[in-house]
Structure 1
Amino acid sequence: MTMVNPGTTSPETSLDKRFALAKTLAQEASAMALDYFNRRDTLVIETKRDMQDVVSIADRNVEKVIRDRVAAMLPEDGFLGEEFGHTEGDSGYTWVVDPIDGTAPFVNGIPSWCVSIAVVHGGEPVIGVISAPCQNELYAAALGNGAKLNGRVLTLDPSRTMQNALTGIGSNSHVSPETVADIVKRLLAAGGNMIRNGSGALMLAYVAAGRLVGYYEPYIHAWDCLAGCCLVKEAGGWYHPFPVDGDKLTKGAPVVAGGPGVRADLERLAGLA
């Protein structure tokens, strides 16, 4: 008879435990962020790389709450957050968190921001949870479990293409204005149209929900996109592999993700085909 050590857990149990925690933390953190949003006029706003790259005490405090809870409940896990950097772990799981993705919309009173929580394991994001409290929406996905929006299963429609739907485009000061202008020009020339709402994570969630057919940003950080990539994949879409091994996790890279009907056009737009 095979004996089972009660102190060990299966990979599925480990994933389920972290998935449940990620959903709880996303909801708690987004409630805290929403409170800050509703009194944003009292916040001191600072700049980072440039005048468009902003941060507030809301970003820092929300990340600290998530980071502290993970450390208390899963001290063996690693953690990478936008505001406080990378802490190594030894479990093979790393949490990748943007406490408020879309800080520029946030501080300007625009509701297109979210809390983004991913968990990476085995070289890929295996959990993706995005909470958009202004819309009362919780997007949640885990490897092999599908993607849901407020409990409703998300399934992408292959008939939606670049030509009959909207494509999200991201930009920032890491990429030249000429490069972004060329991307938009080529998208329009291919019969598509674009939208940018200031939050890469939220636009990826919209791809998973079928609101956008795809998303492309030439340079983005892991905390802005890994949760959304997991959502898109589990909804039946695809994403171009994003580097997560070693110190690559802390570096920027392109993100390209979409539904099944846009892959060829989107890869061409991103220079991957």
Structure 2
Amino acid sequence: MNQEERIAAARAVAEAAARDAGRYAKQRFLSEYTVQEKDEFGDLVTDVDVHAERIILDAIRASFPDDAIRSEETGWSGVEGDWLWLVDPLDGTNNFAIGLPAFGVAVTLLYRREPVVGVVYESMTDRLYSATAGQGASCNGVPLAAPAIDPEKPLRKRTVGWIQGHQVQKEPGAMRLKAMLDETCKRTLRLWAPALLWTMLARGQLDGVVLYDSEGDDLYAGLLIAREAGAAVLRFDGTPFAGMEEHPYLIAGRGDAAAQLIELANRARGE
């Protein structure tokens, strides 16, 4: 098959696998499951993560056995090459573990380090978000377009999402910027399920997202969906974000929100 056909087939596989894994997690929600800490920061993993991951990896390997995969729980597998899958089988594990119904699945396919397919499945609402680079985004098959907003709308009337990497913890720069967002914006939302924040931006329920040093398997699917829905995704210096970065610092927004948030980030850094 040619590249276009391959990407279309990959999107279908990703959508089906994400839905199957997400529905499994919903079935297990509020039931008994094993929980373990997996790092020094107290991040959690459950047996549900492991089984959901197996559902997705089996589906990918059945259709694309030679592709490389980087997955949240098992790490790297497959053959390194042009194609790379990123899998977060339970985005929002901490929410899941404490009984908070805000979690989902994120699956991305990258070609030469550029996301070309992004799928996010929100388990509790049965929303399947999907995007192909250059072809737009959809939710349950309905095209998504982040609605236009008043360019004169000040930050004090805007709601933004906050995402930070596990390793950031209480880093002074992050805490300073987060405090300025809390003081300046109408509301700053930290959901503990980053992929879902990106989908909220895509459907217009957030004005912007600020991401502070958070590269991971949950990033690129939601980012692609938001971008294909019309949101700008920029680095803190205002340049367009592309590819993959080990330590991304990003601002995304609709309308003029991104520019306002970049100005705020620069003030937080004393620039």
Give the TM-score normalised by the residue count of structure 2. 0.87
Residue 27 of structure 1 corresponds to 19
How far residue 35 of structure 1 moved from its aligned partner, in angstroms, is 1.8
How far residue 94 of structure 1 moved from its aligned partner, in angstroms, is 1.0
Letter in 2 for 1:253: P
Which of residues 114, 120, 138 is equivalent to 1:148? 138
Residue 6 of structure 1 corresponds to none
Residue 179 of structure 1 corresponds to 173
Q: What is the CA–CA distance in structure 2 between the aligned matches of 1:66 and 1:14, rounded to whole Å?
A: 18
How far residue 254 of structure 1 moved from its aligned partner, in angstroms, is 3.0
Indicate whether 1:233 and 2:233 are aligned: no
How far residue 122 of structure 1 moved from its aligned partner, in angstroms, is 3.1
Q: What is the CA–CA distance in structure 1 between the aligned matches of 2:254 and 2:220, rounded to whole Å?
A: 16
How far residue 176 of structure 1 moved from its aligned partner, in angstroms, is 4.0
Q: Check 1:92–1:158 CA distance in 2 against 1; reply closer, same or farther (3 A cut).
A: same
Which of residues 241, 254, 262 is equivalent to 1:259? 254
Are the equivalent residues in 2 in contact too, given 1:80–1:96 (CA < 8 A)?
yes
Residue 118 of structure 1 corresponds to 108
Larger CA deviation: 131-140 vs 186-195: 186-195
Q: What is the CA–CA distance in structure 2 between the aligned matches of 1:174 and 1:137, rounded to whole Å?
A: 30
Cα RMSD of the aligned pairs, angstroms, is 2.2
Q: What is the CA–CA distance in structure 1 between the aligned matches of 2:23 and 2:156, rounded to whole Å?
A: 37
Q: What is the CA–CA distance in structure 1 between the aligned matches of 2:166 and 2:140, rounded to whole Å?
A: 34
Indicate whether 1:170 and 2:163 are aligned: yes
- Runs (4+) of structure 1 moved beyond 6 Å? none
Letter in 2 for 1:207: L
How far residue 142 of structure 1 moved from its aligned partner, in angstroms, is 0.8
Q: What is the CA–CA distance in structure 2 between the aligned matches of 1:191 and 1:55, rounded to whole Å?
A: 33
Q: What is the CA–CA distance in structure 1 between the aligned matches of 2:99 and 2:107, rounded to whole Å?
A: 22
Are the equivalent residues in 2 in contact too, given 1:242–1:255 (CA < 8 A)?
no
Q: Secondary structure at the match of 2:160?
A: strand
How far residue 88 of structure 1 moved from its aligned partner, in angstroms, is 4.4
Q: Check 1:242–1:102 CA distance in 2 against 1; reply closer, same or farther (3 A cut).
A: farther
Residue 77 of structure 2 corresponds to 87
Q: Secondary structure at the match of 2:107?
A: strand
Residue 106 of structure 1 corresponds to 96
Are the equivalent residues in 1 in contact too, given 2:110–2:117 (CA < 8 A)?
yes
Q: What is the CA–CA distance in structure 1 between the aligned matches of 2:141 and 2:156, rounded to whole Å?
A: 30
Are the equivalent residues in 1 in contact too, given 2:115–2:243 (CA < 8 A)?
no
How far residue 106 of structure 1 moved from its aligned partner, in angstroms, is 0.4
Q: Secondary structure at the match of 1:222?
A: coil
Q: What is the CA–CA distance in structure 2 between the aligned matches of 1:20 and 1:38, rounded to whole Å?
A: 30
**Structure 1, gaps ≥5 residues long:** 1-8
Q: Check 1:252–1:113 CA distance in 2 against 1; reply closer, same or farther (3 A cut).
A: farther
Residue 9 of structure 2 corresponds to 17
Q: What is the CA–CA distance in structure 2 between the aligned matches of 1:258 and 1:89, rounded to whole Å?
A: 36
Residue 200 of structure 2 corresponds to 206
Corresponding residue pairs, total: 258
Are the equivalent residues in 2 in contact too, given 1:156–1:260 (CA < 8 A)?
no
Give the TM-score normalised by the residue count of structure 1. 0.86
Larger CA deviation: 223-232 vs 42-51: 42-51
Letter in 1 for 2:261: L
Q: Check 1:30–1:173 CA distance in 2 against 1; reply closer, same or farther (3 A cut).
A: closer
Q: What is the CA–CA distance in structure 2 between the aligned matches of 1:236 and 1:31, rounded to whole Å?
A: 28
**Structure 2, gaps ≥5 residues long:** 235-240
